């Protein structure tokens, strides 16, 4: 059995992973607030923790891993989106429009994330199904002095938890200046955060001991994680933008409620586009669906993401997408006609070393170079690549295996000629392929694509 090591944000070091129960490995990952399409950055934690889910299933068995990722379906942004629809003339009550919007967005999310080759988690709870558990947790925090009521709100006393700030490595006083906290006159301390807030008659709300209202964001994940995974579980993950305040607040309220909560905290770094932060003002903001509709295969998006270690900033570029497409086309052709082979431990070992996906991909390249197609297929699927669910976008359905093999041989001869600086021979091979209707794409991983005028007879004549 592979020994897994993971970087624990809480201890700031890589640690050997030993689950609380090998028969019940438990992981919670913060999911989306469902008010709009997932942008490209939203997809990174989904892919990262999908790979971890696959690795845990490989090591401990698919029936022994429980992965929970929530949907936040009660939020001011959702309310605002539904209200805008109503003001634009949509029929139905605000509650009906909210339900319509959240259902629609969850459906979009599933479609987009599954296009990237991700598995559905074991459970996907919706926050609105756990309001009772949230109320019960809040009542306990008030009774123990860790929370208080003020102007119809319930707030958590941050300074009642001595270890607040340990996850992000900052003291409470250091956080106050410039922190993302809501300033309100009813707070005892600027750092105190909302557990429950009142709802007006025109907004969604639930009855509680403090009046009709709705939960704050942070209490949602604590209540759902406790209800579905128990007092203590193995891994809590998400993007590093959630480390503070969301995860810091989750820890505080859960520990003060008497729960052990997560043992290992994992955070992925953020995404850039062509070297710049993704933003609407720069014109480089786009959703996963935007890329898919532009013809970028989901498998290519996944490959680009996995080419960078999850704890390093990732830069999405068109050049990386082209290289990824070329590699995947080659791998698809190599593996199309074969069954899965044996386990190749270097790939497993790379993933077990804090999800070193770039190293795992390098090992897949090695399998491709030595033409071990069966093992390549088996191990690529451990990373969620070359799977049946991703379809056969990279295949040229009308080309026989022997024809594809001949094209690959010619392409290999061209690479060798270029390496020897025999430019005349390299150009000759390219021209012969182009004349037969085969487009040659140079790059770190050369590739070919059949054009509509492809004529296999011309290719056969070259033999």
Q: What is the pLDDT of residues 368-422, one digit of tens each?
A: 989 899 999 999 999 999 998 887 787 655 566 677 778 878 888 888 888 899 9
For residue 176, what pLDDT is reported?
62
For residue 330, what pLDDT is reported?
86
328, 315 contact by CB (below 8 A): no
User: Which of residues 421 and 90 earns the better pLDDT score?
Assistant: 421
Closest to 229 measured CA to CA, from 205, 264, 179: 264
Laid out side by side, the sheet with 25-29 consists of 65-69, 25-29, 232-239, 261-268
Mean model confidence pLDDT for the chain: 91
170, 214 contact by CB (below 8 A): no
Write 388-391 long-range contacts (CB < 8 A, 24+). Answer: 389/114, 389/117, 390/117, 390/297, 390/298, 390/299
For residue 396, what pLDDT is reported?
59
Strand 25-29 and strand 65-69: the pairing is: parallel
Confidence of residue 182 (pLDDT cuts 50, 70, 90): low
Show Cβ contacts of residue 159 under 8 Å, excluding neighbours closer than 6 positions: 172, 189, 191
Write 446-451 long-range contacts (CB < 8 A, 24+). Answer: 446/326, 446/411, 446/414, 446/415, 447/325, 447/326, 447/327, 447/329, 447/330, 448/329, 448/407, 448/411, 449/329, 449/396, 450/396, 450/398, 450/399
For residue 416, what pLDDT is reported?
86
CB neighbours of residue 228 within 10 Å: 18
pTM: 0.88
pLDDT tens, position by position, 128-155: 999 999 999 999 999 999 999 999 999 9
């Amino acid at each position: 059995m592979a020994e897994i090591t993971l970087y624990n944000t809480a201890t700031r070091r890589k640690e050997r992973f030993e689950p609380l129960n090998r028969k019940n490995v438990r992981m919670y990952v913060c999911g989306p607030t469902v008010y709009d399409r997932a942008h490209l950055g939203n997809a990174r934690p989904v892919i990262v923790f999908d790979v971890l889910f696959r690795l845990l299933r490989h090591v401990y068995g698919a029936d022994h891993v429980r992965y929970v990722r929530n949907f936040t379906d009660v939020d001011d942004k959702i309310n605002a989106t539904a209200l805008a629809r109503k003001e634009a003339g949509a029929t139905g009550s605000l509650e009906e429009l909210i339900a319509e919007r959240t259902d629609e967005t969850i459906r979009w999310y599933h479609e987009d994330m599954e296009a990237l080759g991700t598995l559905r988690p074991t459970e996907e709870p919706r926050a609105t199904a756990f309001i009772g558990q949230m109320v019960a947790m809040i009542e306990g925090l008030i009774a123990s002095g860790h929370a208080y009521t003020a102007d119809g709100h319930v707030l958590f006393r941050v300074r009642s938890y001595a270890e607040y700030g340990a996850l992000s490595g900052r003291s409470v006083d250091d956080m106050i200046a410039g922190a993302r906290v809501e300033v309100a006159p009813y707070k005892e301390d600027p750092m105190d955060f909302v557990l429950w807030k009142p709802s007006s008659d025109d907004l969604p709300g639930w009855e509680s001991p403090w009046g009709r209202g709705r939960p704050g964001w942070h209490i949602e994940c604590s209540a759902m994680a406790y209800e579905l995974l128990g007092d203590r579980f193995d891994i809590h993950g998400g993007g590093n933008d959630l480390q503070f305040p969301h995860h810091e607040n989750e820890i505080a309220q859960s520990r003060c409620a008497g729960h052990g909560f997560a043992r290992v905290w994992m955070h992925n770094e953020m995404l850039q586009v062509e070297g710049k932060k993704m933003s609407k003002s720069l014109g480089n903001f786009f959703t996963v669906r935007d890329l898919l509709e532009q013809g970028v295969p989901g498998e290519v998006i996944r490959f680009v993401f996995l080419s960078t270690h999850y704890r390093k900033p990732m830069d999405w570029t068109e050049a990386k997408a082209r290289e990824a497409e070329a590699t995947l086309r080659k791998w698809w052709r190599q593996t199309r006609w074969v069954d899965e082979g044996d386990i190749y431990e270097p790939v497993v070992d790379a993933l077990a070393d804090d999800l070193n996906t770039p190293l795992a991909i390098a090992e897949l390249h090695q399998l491709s170079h030595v033409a071990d197609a069966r093992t390549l297929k088996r191990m690529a699927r451990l990373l969620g690549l070359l799977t049946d669910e991703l379809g056969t976008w990279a295949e040229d359905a009308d080309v026989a295996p022997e024809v594809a093999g001949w094209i690959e041989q010619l392409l290999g001869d061209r690479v060798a000629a270029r390496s020897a600086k025999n430019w005349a021979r390299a150009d000759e091979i390219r021209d012969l392929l182009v004349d037969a209707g085969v487009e040659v794409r140079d790059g770190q991983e050369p590739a070919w694509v059949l054009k509509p005028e492809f004529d296999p007879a011309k290719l056969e004549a070259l033999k």
